[in-house]
Amino acid sequence: MLYHIANHRGTDSVRSFLEYDDDKIKENTLTAKIAKETKKVIDAKKYRTFGEYLYKGKIEKFQQNIRKKVSNRKTPANKNKEFAVTRDVIIKETEKILASQKQYYTYILTDEYIKKIKDAISYQTEKLIPESGYCPYFKDEKRLPRSHKLNEYRRMYEALNNAKYFDPVLDENTGEILSYQEKEFSREEKKILFDEVLLKGMELTESGAKKLLYHLPDGCEVQLQGRDKTTQKIKGYALVDLEASPFWLRLSQQQQDEFLYDWNSLPLEKLKPKLTNYYSLTESEVDETFQEIKLPSNYASVGKKAMEILLTYIKDGCSYTEALEKAVSEGKLKVDKQTMIYDSLPYYGKILKESTQKLIGKAFSKQFADRNYKEPDTNKNEREFGKIANPVVHQTLNELRKLINEIITVFGKKPLEIGLETTRELKKSKKNREYLSKQQNKNEYARNRIYKEYIEPHLSQIKSRQENPSKYISKFELLEEQNFICPFCSEKITPDDIINSKVDVEHIFPIEESEDITKNNLVIAHNECNADKGKKSPFDAFGDKTSGKYRWNCILHNAQKNLPHKVWRFYQGSLEKFLENKPMSRRFGTDNSYISKIAARYLACLFNDPYHSEIFCIKSSLIAQLRIAWDLNSIMVPLVKNILSEKELEEFKISKNKKIRIDNRHHALDAIVIAYANRGYHNFLNRIHAKEYKINYREKSWLSKILLPPLNRDLEDFKISVKDSIEKANVSIKHDHNTNGSLVKATAYKVYYSGAGEYIITTSKNVEEISFKEKEDPKDTLYRALCKFECRDIDIKDEKLIKKLKYNSTLYKKVQNNLSKAKQELEQDNKKTEEEGKKSQKITEVRIYKKACSLVKGQYIQCGSRLKDKFFAVKEPTEIKTGLGYDTGDNLFLDLYYDKTGKLCGEIIRKVNFNRNKPNYQKEGYTLFERIYQSDILEVDTSEDRISLKNKTGSAPSDRTFIKVNTFTEVNAYFDGKRDKIQIFFGNLLKSSFKNDSFFISSMQKYNVRKVILTSLGIIKYRSQILKNKEV
């Protein structure tokens, strides 16, 4: 009993000294409310202990001798937590149990022993409490708690200052959107949003802003927080609940400030008595405070006096950094003058002291100074000066320092001027950027088709309503996706229904609960159907309907047929499962304007100018305009064609004004434009914007004729010089040798024994999910999915798996038998479509097979095989028992070594195996020759036979090129003892995305491969020996 209590002892409160994301805050708030209700029930029913509450309230109602598990975990069957318990309730229960037991075991349960038990059960790790530090401008004043009213006002006003809306500029004749004019909210508009929403503690959303500011132009787009659609909310005032508490009004202003410092800094055992003794809170008010009040933790970067000064500027529309600069220049804030002008950039924390925070950890805290915690291996500059908490900004400034310092070293002097443009996709990984680029091209083609097919015929009608035509594109995308059928009533939706506003977009999972604003959560449905669904999931709204307008069987069938990738959202319990594993919110979203501003302040230490006039930030729109005006995109076309394979050339579409991103040298082109993009061009474009000229910025226009090349150079001569620079440009990447990351992949597989020296893994899938490709024979695809393991009867010993594989074969036959019926149904669908005056769809073999799968339904077992050395088995399978395992996570590196014959061999070290004492080759007595990480650069001979080796790259020596290693893997021959049969996949460093080329350790030697490390400027700073067999 005591052991069980120790495992479920709760916590003192849900208060934390560290920042939590929104999901964690919501969870804590809910837990606090449930704990409060649980306490009320215990008191009202006079239960002596929490255990008695559980027994009488949850267990006693079941029949005797029937075991029933009482779970408080949120599941589809148990939608809400029913109870929660705080530590004080558990401690009282422990005391009562021990007091009762002591009567019978006095010789064991001595007072000393009871104290040990209570201490063990009540033990909790001491929380780390961040230190406030002192204001950099008023040195005797502590930094303000982030929960302070002034800091909350700063946060909300600064968010409003960053918010903007985009007014569409329409062609007067066609109604087509030429561009969007960016506008900021006026002081009066910001005051309305602040007073009516934020100050009342409510979140401000895009739709909320449009509703309050009803005078905004139709079709305008509101952008509250950067470009990311998932973060378009501004949090409301955090002190609403606290300021509404009766005790708060009894406190003086000084006590209110002290309360917030104490809340941030005192552990519970000190805070509770102080709330009672110093702030005169009653016992119920103390309990209420801990259960109800949720405040931002940590501290602002300045103290109260400085914040009051800065807030006056921020309310006038300044950003925090602009307010700081104005306050300093006007003498309201005094700073230690930066008398030192640096010859190279020091660590950014030395310059941006007010923007950094100390490293957080028990080893760095005065609170634990006498505990002898070992300091982790951290950068000495970060230990001394702290770091910016946002990892994107931290990494950006560090990379900027390396680049600028290398430029200074190479040229022997500092630059006279620095122009900054931060990339739009700075926050995304390389893989995500590559995917985004492909998706943008695909989406652009689809949008243009939809615009011509559905919107152009109704332009005059849309124009008469002064609406933005582009807002209809997403609706028609959804309509096509769901095959022109309403997902709820199963009736047809026509294009006219969209134009005439008879239908609208609906969230499958209610937005209030799911917060899922992705396209995967959207459908288009009749307005009446949307109203009837309300704020529920489809099953909760219609799951009990068997007749009438909404019939659940029809709804589910329609979703399976027309929305196969969204159908899971229609199943019973799907919303609850989604909420259990809700995607993590983006904690470190970064507005690029902030990076630009803070980078400019950092770079200013190189110059003797308090106004940073040598540094200017350039908008992407200006760079794009100059590229078009100077016809620089055309320079990249022949360069790109030279690095593409024949197949890629077929797919390569040239758009005269579209930026070409597949060649990494497009960054060099941007850098050249930035170098020439002086303030004259910038100011000119701003004047054009201010006069509200209607310009299509995606095309060459009259504006392009005015934006002449620098110094009025001849355009063709200028382009030739730019092309020459681009061809010679160095390319470099950031090397990633990070050992962090997932050890194994997320999917857990059932693992079956195989006599062939490998594992057989399985997962269950719906037969409708089989992916058919137009360029493949669908019969082969179906056979591969269902019957691939049919000939493996000898290897497979598990009877259950054999039975499942036989059922796969039965499904295969069923699909084949339904092909003619599937074709008939598709023909009938086409006939109905044509009768309605719509265009029918071509019936292909792939469509027939897909339809047949949807008719058959059912689940099949998807099988795969894994080599034992490339799979992580948590539980080993036997001939009679299944196991459990995961695919291994990322490869970490490839170690090359010589065997006893002098042959170059290799061993792949995966992250899951990284911490073992020795790799296998070292256990065999061999030593490391060279280590290659994923994303490392290799220098190889150029070759006309391979497109990836054809072109010289940047600083590579003559007749040599650079390739980037993507990954590596063992082939079957490796496990038969041929240790040079590791396949290395790579692509040329010039290309931003590519289909992998590859060679083996054995075959790469004809290219005289060396590993190289490049500097930030792409200069070789390390070159290995040639990676080849020893000459005997």
Q: DSSP characters for 691-757? A: TT----TTS--HHHHHSPPGGG--HHHHHHHHHHHHHH------------S-SEEEEEEEEE-BTTS
The C-alpha atoms of residue 964 and residue 953 are separated, in whole angstroms, by 11
The C-alpha atoms of residue 668 and residue 658 are separated, in whole angstroms, by 16
The DSSP call for residue 375 is P
The C-alpha atoms of residue 922 and residue 909 are separated, in whole angstroms, by 12
Coil, helix or strand for 227?
Answer: coil
What type of residue sits at position 402?
Answer: K
Cα angle for residues 681, 686, 688 (degrees, 5° grid): 95
Distances from the Cα of 650 to the Cα of 449, 647, 776, angstroms: 21, 5, 19
Q: How far is CA 900 from the centre of its chain?
A: 48
Do the beta carbons of residue 121 and residue 2 sit within 8 Å?
yes
Distances from the Cα of 15 to the Cα of 92, 296, 804, angstroms: 21, 10, 51
Distances from the Cα of 163 to the Cα of 217, 482, 993, angstroms: 16, 35, 34
The C-alpha atoms of residue 183 and residue 166 are separated, in whole angstroms, by 6
Do the beta carbons of residue 997 and residue 985 sit within 8 Å?
yes
In the residue annotation, 8 being an active-site residue is answered as no
3-state secondary structure 614-656: CEEECCHHHHHHHHHHCCCHHHHHHHHHCCCCHHHHHHCCCCC
**What b/e sequence results for 47-73 when a residue is b if at least 16 CB atoms lie within 10 Å of its CB, and e otherwise?**
bebbbbbbeebeeeeeeeeeeeeeeee
Residues 6+ apart with CB under 8 A from 122: 9, 87, 91, 94
Stated as kind and residue range, the H or E segment containing 24 is: helix 22-44
What type of residue sits at position 556?
Answer: L
Q: Identify the CA nearest to 962 among candidates 1005, 1024, 1014.
A: 1014
The C-alpha atoms of residue 960 and residue 953 are separated, in whole angstroms, by 8
Catalytic-role residue among 507, 565, 667, 682: 507
For the chain, the distance separating the N- and C-terminal CA atoms, rounded to the nearest angstrom, is: 72
Phi, psi of 1013 (to 5 degrees): -120, 130
Distances from the Cα of 888 to the Cα of 207, 773, 873, 934, angstroms: 44, 28, 9, 15
Structure tokens at 674: 């930035």
The C-alpha atoms of residue 247 and residue 922 are separated, in whole angstroms, by 69
Phi, psi of 387 (to 5 degrees): -150, 160
Q: Which long-range contacts (CB under 8 A, 24 or more apart) does 671-679 make?
A: 672/722, 672/725, 672/726, 673/623, 673/626, 673/627, 673/630, 673/632, 674/419, 674/420, 674/421, 674/618, 674/623, 675/419, 676/626, 676/709, 676/710, 677/419, 677/618, 677/622, 677/623, 677/626, 678/710, 679/616
Structure tokens at 775: 């360029």
Q: Which residues carry out catalysis?
A: 507
